[in-house]
Structure 1
Amino acid sequence: MVAEGSVDAERDAILRALAPVVDGLAATFGPVCEAVLHDYRTPEKSVVAVAGSVTGRAVGGAMSEIGMRVLARGDEAADELNYLTRTRDGTLVKSSTMVLRDSTGAVFGALCVNVDVTAVERVHSLLGALAGRDGHPADLPTTTFGNDIDSVVDALVDTHRHKSWAELDRAERLALFRDLDARGVFAVRRAIEQVAARLGISRASAYHYLAQARAATDPTIPSGGQA
């Protein structure tokens, strides 16, 4: 068995080695590129190195819901390459998220590259219009990038809630908690309290619905337990 302190030291060394890569990527591709290095051991301030300003984050900033999704998958997470999303201000971004593993195979972070392709899309649309073709891209998901993890959690709750809590039936409430759990929200410290406040329910109720949602997914979990 590898000692925990030894694994942490190895992870720290990997992150230190990749820090210059972050600067090199951003310098190579210029102002339209941003490279971000994440340490998932601290989800609330996972950004340990950043170069470029596509998403406006800084060292000590939080992961996005993309990072939460990777975190939720644990060691089963895989690289996600060349996917498109939009920031909340409408910027079209092409991204790649490459997971970092230690020598035991455990996922502990990620190296992310974000490229602002809005300008490229404008040229594409113009050429499409000149050629008589529709140049508008298909609908893309909106991703919240921020230095504050609370804003990311709030955005995820709001995105997946189309009615007030009182208007949701039990199945819809369970589906909401199941979806938030699958997206890694509850891996973040204090997220259960924040979700409860956002929904206007008690902390105990939030724990109850989370436990019920997990029990419905995994029958080995007692339905009356708490997360």
Structure 2
Amino acid sequence: MVDEHVHDAGRDAILAALRGVVDGIAATFGPVCEVVLHDYRKPEKSVVAVAGEVTGRAVGGAMSEIGMRVLARGDEAADDLNYVTRTAAGKLVKSSTMVLRDSTGAVFGALCVNVDVSAVNEAHALLGALAGLGAGPAEPPVTAFGNDIDSVVDAILDAHRLGRHQSWAALERAERLDLFRRLDEHGVFAVRRAIEQVAARLGISRASAYSYLAQARAATDPTPAGGHA
């Protein structure tokens, strides 16, 4: 069996090799481009290199909710290319997230490219209006980018609660389990201390939060009782 230190050394070498790539891609595309290198072994401080300024990321910053979803999928995660999202400040961003794997195929990080396409979108809308075209595509979702992991978790929690305009006390049991299931799918509980943070925001005990999470996971587990994963 290969020592875990050997795997870590290999992962560190991959990250070191990509630091120059981060600067190169950002320099090629200019001021509208931001490139971020993540090490998911430390999600609260996953950003190990950044070039450009689009989402306000900084070295030592936390992963975004996009990174949390990758972390939740584990080694089943795949590259997500050319998706469009919007920052809380209103910037329209076209992004690609490319997962990093070690020699065993395990996902341990990601290389992310973010391009601010706000000006392009405004020009497209203006040309469409001049040409008499109909409404544009649906509004892209807002993504929580932040250097503080707690603020990212809060943003995800708010997005999943406010859509219902209901308090925790007003939710039925099935709705409560669905909330925990959706938070789990977004990778929230892969972050250390997130269960305590969610419990505090919902006004419930940590034990209750763990119970709801366990029940939500059991309800979505495809493995039948007595079966094998």
Q: Which TM-score tier does this pair reach, normalised by the shorter chain?
A: over 0.9
TM-score (norm 2): 0.94
The amino acid across from 2:205 in the alignment is S
Q: Which residue of 1 aligns with 2:99?
A: 99
Structure 1 residue 205: Cα displacement? 0.8
The SS at the match of 2:34 is strand
The amino acid across from 2:206 in the alignment is R
Matched, 1:45 2:62: no
Q: Which residue of 2 aligns with 1:23?
A: 23
Matched, 1:197 2:200: yes
Distance 2:214 2:182 in 1: 13
Matched, 1:184 2:197: no
The SS at the match of 1:160 is helix
Q: Which residue of 1 aligns with 2:14?
A: 14
Distance 2:135 2:116 in 1: 17
Structure 1 residue 135: Cα displacement? 5.5
Answer whether contact 1:215 1:221 (CA < 8 A) is retained.
no
Aligned length: 222
Root-mean-square deviation (CA, aligned residues, Å) is 1.4
Structure 1 residue 40: Cα displacement? 0.3
Structure 1 residue 129: Cα displacement? 1.0
Distance 1:158 1:202 in 2: 19
Q: Which residue of 2 aligns with 1:124?
A: 124
Distance 2:109 2:92 in 1: 24
The SS at the match of 1:193 is helix
Identity of aligned residues (%): 80
Matches within 5 A, 1:72-91: 72-91=72-91
Deviations 1:103-142 (A, max 9, x none): 1000000000000000001111111111111363312111
Matched, 1:156 2:156: yes
The SS at the match of 2:26 is helix
Q: Which residue of 1 aligns with 2:209?
A: 206
Matched, 1:137 2:137: yes
The amino acid across from 2:189 in the alignment is F
Deviations 1:176-201 (A, max 9, x none): 00111111100000000000111111
Q: Which residue of 2 aligns with 1:225?
A: none
The SS at the match of 2:215 is helix
Q: Which residue of 2 aligns with 1:215?
A: 218
Distance 1:17 1:199 in 2: 43
Q: Which runs of 4+ in 1 moved over 2 A?
A: 134-137, 219-222
The SS at the match of 1:209 is helix
The SS at the match of 1:22 is helix
